[in-house]
Structure 1
Amino acid sequence: MSLDLPRAEKLRLRLWLQMLKATRHIEAELRERLRLEHGTTLPRFDVMAALERRPDGLKMSELSRRLMVSNGNVTGIVDRLVEDGLVVRVEVEGDRRATRVRLTNDGRRSFEAMARKHAEWIQQCMDPLGDREVAETTAALEKIRKVEI
Protein backbone atom coordinates (compact mmCIF):
# COMPACT_ATOMS: atom_id res chain seq x y z
CA MET A 1 0.00 0.00 0.00
CA SER A 2 1.41 3.35 -1.01
CA LEU A 3 0.43 6.57 0.69
CA ASP A 4 -0.93 9.20 -1.63
CA LEU A 5 0.87 12.22 -0.17
CA PRO A 6 1.37 15.66 -1.64
CA ARG A 7 4.76 16.15 -3.31
CA ALA A 8 6.07 18.43 -0.53
CA GLU A 9 5.29 15.82 2.12
CA LYS A 10 6.97 13.08 0.09
CA LEU A 11 10.07 15.24 -0.25
CA ARG A 12 10.18 15.84 3.50
CA LEU A 13 9.81 12.14 4.22
CA ARG A 14 12.59 11.41 1.74
CA LEU A 15 14.78 14.02 3.45
CA TRP A 16 14.13 12.39 6.82
CA LEU A 17 15.09 8.97 5.46
CA GLN A 18 18.26 10.37 3.88
CA MET A 19 19.23 12.08 7.16
CA LEU A 20 18.67 8.82 9.02
CA LYS A 21 20.67 6.79 6.50
CA ALA A 22 23.52 9.32 6.54
CA THR A 23 23.64 9.32 10.35
CA ARG A 24 23.62 5.53 10.51
CA HIS A 25 26.30 5.31 7.82
CA ILE A 26 28.63 7.73 9.63
CA GLU A 27 27.97 6.11 13.00
CA ALA A 28 28.74 2.64 11.59
CA GLU A 29 32.00 3.97 10.09
CA LEU A 30 33.00 5.54 13.40
CA ARG A 31 32.17 2.37 15.35
CA GLU A 32 34.22 0.20 13.00
CA ARG A 33 37.21 2.54 12.88
CA LEU A 34 37.28 2.98 16.66
CA ARG A 35 37.16 -0.80 17.05
CA LEU A 36 39.87 -1.50 14.48
CA GLU A 37 42.27 1.35 15.18
CA HIS A 38 41.79 1.88 18.90
CA GLY A 39 40.24 -1.33 20.20
CA THR A 40 37.36 0.60 21.71
CA THR A 41 33.67 1.28 21.26
CA LEU A 42 31.68 4.38 20.41
CA PRO A 43 29.99 4.43 23.85
CA ARG A 44 33.42 4.36 25.56
CA PHE A 45 34.56 7.19 23.28
CA ASP A 46 31.41 9.18 24.15
CA VAL A 47 32.00 8.74 27.90
CA MET A 48 35.61 9.82 27.55
CA ALA A 49 34.58 12.82 25.41
CA ALA A 50 32.13 13.97 28.09
CA LEU A 51 34.82 13.61 30.75
CA GLU A 52 37.45 15.37 28.66
CA ARG A 53 35.30 18.50 28.63
CA ARG A 54 35.15 18.42 32.44
CA PRO A 55 38.67 18.02 33.89
CA ASP A 56 37.26 17.89 37.45
CA GLY A 57 35.06 15.01 36.33
CA LEU A 58 31.34 14.38 36.48
CA LYS A 59 29.04 12.61 38.90
CA MET A 60 27.74 9.37 37.45
CA SER A 61 24.22 10.82 37.32
CA GLU A 62 25.48 13.89 35.41
CA LEU A 63 27.36 11.64 33.00
CA SER A 64 24.32 9.49 32.23
CA ARG A 65 22.15 12.61 31.80
CA ARG A 66 24.64 14.21 29.38
CA LEU A 67 24.88 11.02 27.34
CA MET A 68 21.13 10.41 27.55
CA VAL A 69 21.59 6.80 28.67
CA SER A 70 20.67 4.93 31.84
CA ASN A 71 22.88 4.92 34.92
CA GLY A 72 23.28 1.17 34.43
CA ASN A 73 24.70 1.60 30.94
CA VAL A 74 27.17 4.25 32.12
CA THR A 75 28.19 2.17 35.13
CA GLY A 76 29.20 -0.78 32.96
CA ILE A 77 31.22 1.41 30.61
CA VAL A 78 32.90 3.26 33.49
CA ASP A 79 33.73 -0.04 35.22
CA ARG A 80 35.65 -1.19 32.14
CA LEU A 81 37.37 2.19 31.72
CA VAL A 82 38.48 2.01 35.37
CA GLU A 83 39.83 -1.53 34.81
CA ASP A 84 41.79 -0.20 31.83
CA GLY A 85 43.21 2.68 33.88
CA LEU A 86 41.59 5.33 31.69
CA VAL A 87 39.24 6.81 34.32
CA VAL A 88 39.17 6.95 38.08
CA ARG A 89 36.31 7.21 40.54
CA VAL A 90 36.60 9.85 43.25
CA GLU A 91 34.36 10.19 46.29
CA VAL A 92 32.15 13.27 46.38
CA GLU A 93 32.74 15.15 49.62
CA GLY A 94 29.57 15.37 51.66
CA ASP A 95 27.70 12.71 49.64
CA ARG A 96 28.70 9.14 50.44
CA ARG A 97 26.37 7.74 47.79
CA ALA A 98 27.84 9.74 44.88
CA THR A 99 31.10 9.32 43.02
CA ARG A 100 32.73 11.59 40.52
CA VAL A 101 34.45 10.08 37.48
CA ARG A 102 37.36 11.73 35.71
CA LEU A 103 39.94 10.82 33.11
CA THR A 104 43.37 9.70 34.24
CA ASN A 105 46.46 11.04 32.49
CA ASP A 106 46.53 7.84 30.41
CA GLY A 107 42.84 8.31 29.67
CA ARG A 108 43.41 11.88 28.53
CA ARG A 109 46.26 10.84 26.21
CA SER A 110 44.22 7.94 24.85
CA PHE A 111 41.19 10.13 24.24
CA GLU A 112 43.26 12.85 22.54
CA ALA A 113 44.63 10.29 20.06
CA MET A 114 41.13 8.96 19.36
CA ALA A 115 39.65 12.46 19.10
CA ARG A 116 42.21 13.48 16.46
CA LYS A 117 41.32 10.42 14.38
CA HIS A 118 37.60 10.93 15.00
CA ALA A 119 37.82 14.48 13.65
CA GLU A 120 39.72 13.17 10.61
CA TRP A 121 37.07 10.53 9.95
CA ILE A 122 34.24 13.05 10.23
CA GLN A 123 36.09 15.29 7.79
CA GLN A 124 36.39 12.37 5.35
CA CYS A 125 32.67 11.64 5.64
CA MET A 126 31.83 15.29 4.98
CA ASP A 127 34.36 15.77 2.17
CA PRO A 128 31.73 15.61 -0.60
CA LEU A 129 30.15 18.80 0.78
CA GLY A 130 31.48 22.25 0.08
CA ASP A 131 31.73 24.90 2.79
CA ARG A 132 28.49 26.53 1.68
CA GLU A 133 26.62 23.21 1.74
CA VAL A 134 27.94 22.49 5.23
CA ALA A 135 26.79 25.91 6.48
CA GLU A 136 23.36 25.61 4.84
CA THR A 137 22.80 22.06 6.04
CA THR A 138 23.86 22.96 9.56
CA ALA A 139 21.48 25.92 9.59
CA ALA A 140 18.62 23.76 8.27
CA LEU A 141 19.21 21.07 10.89
CA GLU A 142 19.32 23.69 13.65
CA LYS A 143 15.91 24.93 12.48
CA ILE A 144 14.53 21.40 12.59
CA ARG A 145 15.85 20.88 16.13
CA LYS A 146 13.86 23.91 17.32
CA VAL A 147 10.54 22.57 16.05
CA GLU A 148 8.21 21.30 18.75
CA ILE A 149 5.84 18.55 17.67
Structure 2
Amino acid sequence: MSLDTTGSKSRLRLWLRLLKASKLIETELRERMRRELDTTLPRFDVMAALSRNPAGLKMSELSGVLKVSNGNVTGIVERLVEEGFVRRDAVKGDRRAFLARLTEEGRSEFERQASAHEGWIDGLLSDVEPERAERLAVLLAEVAAHLEEGKHHEN
Protein backbone atom coordinates (compact mmCIF):
# COMPACT_ATOMS: atom_id res chain seq x y z
CA MET A 1 0.00 0.00 0.00
CA SER A 2 1.85 3.05 -1.31
CA LEU A 3 0.78 6.41 0.04
CA ASP A 4 1.95 9.76 -1.30
CA THR A 5 3.34 10.86 2.06
CA THR A 6 3.93 14.49 1.07
CA GLY A 7 0.46 14.92 -0.43
CA SER A 8 -1.22 12.93 2.31
CA LYS A 9 0.44 14.86 5.12
CA SER A 10 -0.27 18.19 3.41
CA ARG A 11 -3.96 17.34 3.03
CA LEU A 12 -4.18 16.15 6.62
CA ARG A 13 -2.55 19.38 7.81
CA LEU A 14 -4.99 21.37 5.65
CA TRP A 15 -7.98 19.53 7.16
CA LEU A 16 -6.75 20.08 10.72
CA ARG A 17 -6.17 23.79 10.11
CA LEU A 18 -9.58 24.21 8.46
CA LEU A 19 -11.20 22.44 11.38
CA LYS A 20 -9.35 24.55 13.96
CA ALA A 21 -10.17 27.84 12.20
CA SER A 22 -13.80 26.82 11.78
CA LYS A 23 -14.17 25.86 15.45
CA LEU A 24 -12.53 29.08 16.65
CA ILE A 25 -14.78 31.23 14.46
CA GLU A 26 -17.92 29.28 15.36
CA THR A 27 -17.18 29.53 19.08
CA GLU A 28 -16.74 33.30 18.80
CA LEU A 29 -19.92 33.67 16.72
CA ARG A 30 -21.96 31.62 19.20
CA GLU A 31 -20.76 33.80 22.06
CA ARG A 32 -21.43 37.07 20.24
CA MET A 33 -24.88 35.87 19.10
CA ARG A 34 -25.79 35.06 22.69
CA ARG A 35 -24.25 38.16 24.23
CA GLU A 36 -25.02 40.86 21.66
CA LEU A 37 -28.14 39.61 19.86
CA ASP A 38 -29.74 37.41 22.55
CA THR A 39 -30.06 34.56 20.06
CA THR A 40 -28.32 31.35 19.05
CA LEU A 41 -26.49 30.22 15.95
CA PRO A 42 -29.12 27.54 15.16
CA ARG A 43 -31.90 30.17 15.33
CA PHE A 44 -29.85 32.42 13.04
CA ASP A 45 -29.35 29.52 10.63
CA VAL A 46 -33.11 28.82 10.51
CA MET A 47 -33.87 32.48 9.86
CA ALA A 48 -31.15 32.62 7.18
CA ALA A 49 -32.63 29.59 5.39
CA LEU A 50 -36.11 31.15 5.51
CA SER A 51 -34.70 34.47 4.31
CA ARG A 52 -33.24 32.72 1.26
CA ASN A 53 -36.61 31.04 0.62
CA PRO A 54 -39.25 33.77 0.94
CA ALA A 55 -42.01 31.49 -0.40
CA GLY A 56 -41.45 29.34 2.67
CA LEU A 57 -40.16 25.88 3.40
CA LYS A 58 -41.83 22.73 4.72
CA MET A 59 -40.18 21.41 7.88
CA SER A 60 -38.63 18.52 5.94
CA GLU A 61 -37.20 20.97 3.40
CA LEU A 62 -35.86 23.20 6.17
CA SER A 63 -34.23 20.19 7.83
CA GLY A 64 -32.68 19.22 4.50
CA VAL A 65 -31.34 22.69 3.84
CA LEU A 66 -29.79 22.85 7.31
CA LYS A 67 -28.70 19.19 7.26
CA VAL A 68 -30.24 18.49 10.68
CA SER A 69 -33.13 16.35 11.89
CA ASN A 70 -36.74 17.51 11.76
CA GLY A 71 -36.84 17.47 15.56
CA ASN A 72 -33.97 19.94 15.77
CA VAL A 73 -35.73 22.59 13.71
CA THR A 74 -39.25 22.04 15.04
CA GLY A 75 -38.50 23.53 18.46
CA ILE A 76 -36.63 26.46 16.97
CA VAL A 77 -39.45 27.22 14.53
CA GLU A 78 -42.01 26.99 17.35
CA ARG A 79 -40.13 29.59 19.40
CA LEU A 80 -39.69 31.86 16.38
CA VAL A 81 -43.46 31.62 15.75
CA GLU A 82 -44.16 32.53 19.40
CA GLU A 83 -41.88 35.56 19.06
CA GLY A 84 -43.59 36.71 15.86
CA PHE A 85 -40.57 36.18 13.58
CA VAL A 86 -41.98 33.20 11.66
CA ARG A 87 -45.47 32.26 10.53
CA ARG A 88 -46.88 28.91 9.49
CA ASP A 89 -49.03 28.67 6.39
CA ALA A 90 -51.06 25.63 5.41
CA VAL A 91 -49.97 23.60 2.40
CA LYS A 92 -52.78 23.03 -0.07
CA GLY A 93 -53.59 19.36 -0.41
CA ASP A 94 -51.68 18.31 2.71
CA ARG A 95 -53.45 19.02 5.98
CA ARG A 96 -50.50 17.85 8.07
CA ALA A 97 -47.84 20.00 6.42
CA PHE A 98 -47.19 23.70 6.68
CA LEU A 99 -44.77 26.21 5.23
CA ALA A 100 -42.60 28.19 7.60
CA ARG A 101 -41.75 31.68 6.41
CA LEU A 102 -40.41 34.87 7.91
CA THR A 103 -42.86 37.57 8.93
CA GLU A 104 -42.06 41.24 8.21
CA GLU A 105 -40.79 41.50 11.78
CA GLY A 106 -38.73 38.36 11.22
CA ARG A 107 -37.19 39.75 8.03
CA SER A 108 -36.29 42.96 9.82
CA GLU A 109 -34.77 41.08 12.77
CA PHE A 110 -32.83 38.76 10.47
CA GLU A 111 -31.43 41.72 8.52
CA ARG A 112 -30.22 43.23 11.81
CA GLN A 113 -28.62 39.93 12.84
CA ALA A 114 -27.11 39.28 9.39
CA SER A 115 -25.52 42.71 9.37
CA ALA A 116 -23.92 42.09 12.76
CA HIS A 117 -22.82 38.60 11.66
CA GLU A 118 -21.18 39.94 8.50
CA GLY A 119 -19.34 42.59 10.53
CA TRP A 120 -18.07 40.00 12.99
CA ILE A 121 -16.82 37.72 10.21
CA ASP A 122 -15.16 40.68 8.51
CA GLY A 123 -13.41 41.58 11.74
CA LEU A 124 -12.37 38.02 12.57
CA LEU A 125 -10.87 37.54 9.10
CA SER A 126 -9.57 41.07 8.64
CA ASP A 127 -5.96 39.87 8.41
CA VAL A 128 -6.79 37.97 5.22
CA GLU A 129 -6.43 40.19 2.17
CA PRO A 130 -9.62 40.30 0.03
CA GLU A 131 -7.89 38.73 -3.00
CA ARG A 132 -6.56 35.84 -0.90
CA ALA A 133 -9.96 35.41 0.76
CA GLU A 134 -11.59 35.18 -2.68
CA ARG A 135 -9.02 32.66 -3.93
CA LEU A 136 -9.44 30.51 -0.84
CA ALA A 137 -13.24 30.70 -1.11
CA VAL A 138 -13.06 29.51 -4.73
CA LEU A 139 -10.74 26.63 -3.81
CA LEU A 140 -12.96 25.55 -0.92
CA ALA A 141 -16.05 25.75 -3.15
CA GLU A 142 -14.30 23.44 -5.61
CA VAL A 143 -13.47 20.98 -2.83
CA ALA A 144 -17.07 21.04 -1.59
CA ALA A 145 -18.49 20.57 -5.10
CA HIS A 146 -16.12 17.68 -5.70
CA LEU A 147 -17.17 15.98 -2.46
CA GLU A 148 -20.88 16.60 -3.06
CA GLU A 149 -20.63 15.00 -6.48
CA GLY A 150 -19.20 11.89 -4.85
CA LYS A 151 -16.10 12.02 -6.99
CA HIS A 152 -13.74 11.76 -4.05
CA HIS A 153 -11.86 8.52 -3.89
CA GLU A 154 -10.21 6.53 -1.18
CA ASN A 155 -6.60 5.44 -1.36
TM-score by length of 1: 0.91
Matched, 1:24 2:9: no
Alignment deviations for residues 17-51 of structure 1 (CA, whole Å, 9 cap, x no partner)? 00000111111111111111111100000000111
CA distance, structure 1, for counterparts of residue 122 and residue 73 of structure 2: 28
Match of 1:140 in 2: 139
Q: Distance in 2 between matches of 1:15 and 1:32?
A: 26
Listed as ranges, the gaps of 5+ residues in structure 2 are none
Amino acid at match of 1:64: S
**How many matched pairs?**
146
Deviation at 1:132, TM superposition (A): 2.2
- Runs of at least 5 residues in structure 1 that lack an aligned partner in the other structure: none
1:53-92 equivalence runs, <5 A: 53-92=52-91
Specify the SS of the correspondent of 1:108: helix
TM-score normalized by structure 2? 0.88
Matching of residue 35 in structure 1 with residue 3 in structure 2: no
The equivalent of 1:124 in structure 2 is 123
**Ranges of 4+ aligned residues in structure 1 off by more than 6 Å:** none
Deviation of 1:67 (Å) = 0.6
Deviations 1:64-106 (A, max 9, x none): 1111111111101101111111111111111101101111111
SS of corresponding position for 1:31: helix
The one-character-per-residue Cα deviations of 1:85-131 (angstroms, maximum 9, x if unpaired) are 11111111111011011111111111110000011111112211112
> What RMSD over aligned residues (CA atoms) do the two structures have, in Å?
1.6
Fraction of identical pairs, as percent: 53
What CA distance in whole angstroms lies between the structure 1 residues aligned with 2:58 and 2:138?
Answer: 33
